[in-house]
Amino acid sequence: MKLSIDKSELQRGLGRIQAIVEKRNSMPILANVLLTASGKTDAGRLELAATDLEVGVRGSHPARVGKPGAITVSARKLYDIVRELPEEPIQLDASAQSYIELRCGRARFNLAGAAAEEYPTLPEFAPGQLVRLQAAVLSQMIERTMYAASLDETRYNLNGVYFEVLPTDGKLRMVATDGHRLALVDRQIGAQASGLASGVIIPRKGLAELKRLVDEEDADEVELGFEGNNGLAKKGDVTLVMRLIEGEFPNYKQVIPKSSDRKLTLETEPLVRALRRVALLSAERSRAIKLEIAENRITISSSNPDLGDAQEELDVDFAGSAVTIGFNAKYLLDCLGALAAKEIQVSFRDGDKPVEIRPSDDADTLAVVMPMRL
């Protein structure tokens, strides 16, 4: 393999795969990136591929190829080297002994690699239909749901975000829950909604990589499709494949309150700042805080026998009967941070019932936070 490629292209491609490459020693080769050169001269391409056997990404970049071929080398080390090089074309030359020589300007490196045949192959599949989605819409949906996915590996069916199509409404729904909070977002995608497989669970890591893909500067639209136990996303010359979570997602609709007789609207930023301050003296394990909601006022308080106590009041427009609710401060702060709304609407009934939080300007986004006993 012998080629020349612009530094910016190579750095961009290597940067994209850094979160995917496996750093554990169970299979050392998973810490590598597979480089494959094809074509000739100015019409050549360099493909960079990486996988951890659950998530894989493949990106194609323009290159001036002198000799097609393939090799696999340390993804992290190659990225570190390329990042420090000057803004000049980079020459890559792989030897038969699985070494790759890298030249840029007056700098020269020799990296030990491994034969391309030793690298695991990425799943090859073609979903029956790919649905084109706006990258910005998908990014916001992921942002507003992924925080609620469970980190408990024993509850594997909650370790991701549930994709559901609402064909009669032409909407795509994403839901996540860890049993303590729930996040739900609906977005209109029109008639093409019926072409997207429904009822699949995308794992957290796959979703994080999808978020990175849709957040890239040149991301305008993304094609998404599912088939069997695999998901696929395409953006230009980049393809992301992921293994879906097998299992049944719980009936999340049972968690959403059917009705709430108390509602209030308040600005998010003052609430977030007050929660952060008061939570400083909450118990480290439970992060418990108390919200006392009364006429025109919310009192936020915490108490820790080893540290002391804290209290702060906020003015609100509320005229209902008073109620006291306990929360894990982290759950509330995670929710408010993900919603990123200037103003929120809070709906609740009693102190032991789930609380609904919605952005004031978005009726299709919902967060539910379970209270805790104090």
83-92, 122-131, 150-159, 337-346: which range is least confident on average? 122-131
Dihedral sign (CA 214, 216, 219, 222): negative
Band (pLDDT 50/70/90 cuts) for residue 124 is confident
SS3 state of residue 30: helix
Which is more confident, 133 or 127? 133
- Span 231-260, average pLDDT: 91
64-73, 124-133, 349-358: which range is least confident on average? 124-133
Q: What percent of the chain has pLDDT over 70?
A: 98
Residue 200: CB partners within 8 Å, gap ≥ 6?
162, 163, 226, 231, 244
d(CA 137, CA 223): 13
Residue carrying the six token digits 């792989």: 94
- Span 335-354, average pLDDT: 91
- Span 175-188, average pLDDT: 95
Residue 70: CB partners within 8 Å, gap ≥ 6?
1, 34, 35, 36, 37, 94, 116
Tell me what pLDDT residue 60 has: 95
Note whether 2-118 and 131-252 share their fold.
yes
Are 255 and 182 contacting, i.e. CB atoms less than 8 angstroms apart?
A: yes
Band (pLDDT 50/70/90 cuts) for residue 96 is confident
What CATH number does the domain located at 2-118 have? Answer: 3.10.150.10
Give domain limits for the chain. 2-118, 131-252, 256-369
- Span 103-107, average pLDDT: 95
Query: Regarding the domain delimited by 256-369, which CATH topology (the fold level of the hierarchy) does it fall under?
Result: DNA Polymerase III; Chain A, domain 2 (3.10.150)
Band (pLDDT 50/70/90 cuts) for residue 25 is low
Whether residue 191 has pLDDT greater than 80:
no
CATH superfamily of 131-252: DNA Polymerase III, subunit A, domain 2 (3.10.150.10)
Dihedral sign (CA 304, 368, 276, 138): positive
Whether residue 7 has pLDDT greater than 90:
yes
Whether residue 309 has pLDDT greater than 90:
yes
